[in-house]
A and B are shown apart, each in its own frame.
Chain A
Amino acid sequence: MLRSIKATLIMIGECVKMSLSNILGCRVRSFLTVLGILIGVAAVIALITTVNGFSGSLTNSFSELGAGTLTVTVTGSDLKSGLSPEDLNTLSAMDIVEGVTPSVSLTARVSRGGSYEDSVNVSGKNAYYFRQNDDALTRGRAINFTDEDNKTHVCLISPDMVEEFFYGIDPIGESLYVNGIPFLVVGLLDEDSDTSIATLFTGSPDILVPYTTALKLNNANVITSFTVYLEDGVDSEDATDALEAELDAMFSFEEDCYSILNMSSIEETMKTMLGMVSSLLAGIASIALVVGGIGIMNMMLTTVTERTTEIGLKKALGAIPWQIQIQFLIESFLLSVIGGALGILLGLLLSLILSKVLGTTFVVSPGAIALGAGFSAAVGIIFGWAPARKASKLNPIDALRSM
């Protein structure tokens, strides 16, 4: 038993060597034969890797937007149109909540000296906001609790505003007029400093002021939009439930007073959708693999016919049908796997280029490579089976007669 296994292994080793020499013996033909598999695998790899990279980029931007945060938009009821700063303090005190950042938005006319600009995005934030977004501030100081409490007229401005109003001078310590009211510039913002979902469509605000000041500018006293930062490790679904309970109580259990945007669940949904799109595309691309398989089958059938004499000779020399079959099977398997390997390389190259063009992250997906390799191996065996069987069934006398 052990001996026959060893003999079989030896024979398979020889078959691999002979097949490789056959394949390399007619390179152009072998290459054309595996082209179908090559393109199929490359397409599958490129699609999966690109979609994965896209999904990775999406996850990154989502976590920038705030994984671990809940964004609440309040529409209010007749009795209560929004939340007061005290309500926010209540929410901040919850176990699961690390902190709350209100967002009070307005557009204002901003002027300084002789120049002015209309419709500037002004946003009111609190001190906690800068603890969460410590890279928002490039120079100067952030908004602090004193500013919140005293509704001070201080502001932080974006690079655009610096260019617009403070060309050639240091803006810190200078003043800027927002709707005619003077504000002291205390700090400079980074470009695209505010990445919260609230600014996804409006762009980052150009001017940040204490939220209490912003409320005053709006002639309002309630907050209608805020972001809740969760403690590490808190499940966003559980947190949503807890927050709902708290908010329901605040709005006296009236319905439709607010909506909570859970970034994690949106991310999950997006990922699932991308996964489905990816599978669909890979499915379409795998049609190329089937076509490639048919190409290999065609080539193997031709090979069997061409090598009739060789098959007859080998049979005369004592090769049993199974040995002939395994030889041709190994040859089609190797052809297909070589095509698959080249396809994986081409696919990775393509997705690297695509990731550069699309600006997504390039992540080599082991799953996609395994899929490509597995698929090409399977194609080689499945489509090589019939030609190999045909070769093994050749009558040695007929096969030798053609010599």
Chain B
Amino acid sequence: MARPRRRDLLAYLVGAGVAGTLLIGPYGLRVAVIEVIPGAAAVQPPFFLLPILWGLWNLLWTRRQPAMSAGRWGALLGVLAGVVVNLLFVAEGGWFRAAMLLPLFLAVVYYLIWRVVIGPLNEALGVDGERTAV
């Protein structure tokens, strides 16, 4: 049986753990928001996949060691996620104009979370090793 490296496993768990904690927003408040704005239920991004996505993205960061800070790496994920969600809305027929701003908005939100939470956790747990922040 393959044995994952401790560093890889920690990287995945840090990303998945932080994203899983953020899911308190969708799981806790979504029902209330949909009560207030019935139209909000029309769009259903697969937010429950966020922990897996963030875990794998942090694992990829550990493996590839890109020459960029955790914040920028998170912002890149935000852009990609925004584009994918737009395509999903188009495919489902639920696209709206403001969704064009999703890549920008998710990039800055993800930048902040990865810079302030995930980056320091990676450093404290030895996930990012000897990398220097750019």
Report if A and B associate in a common complex: no
Interface residues of B (CB under 8 A from A): none
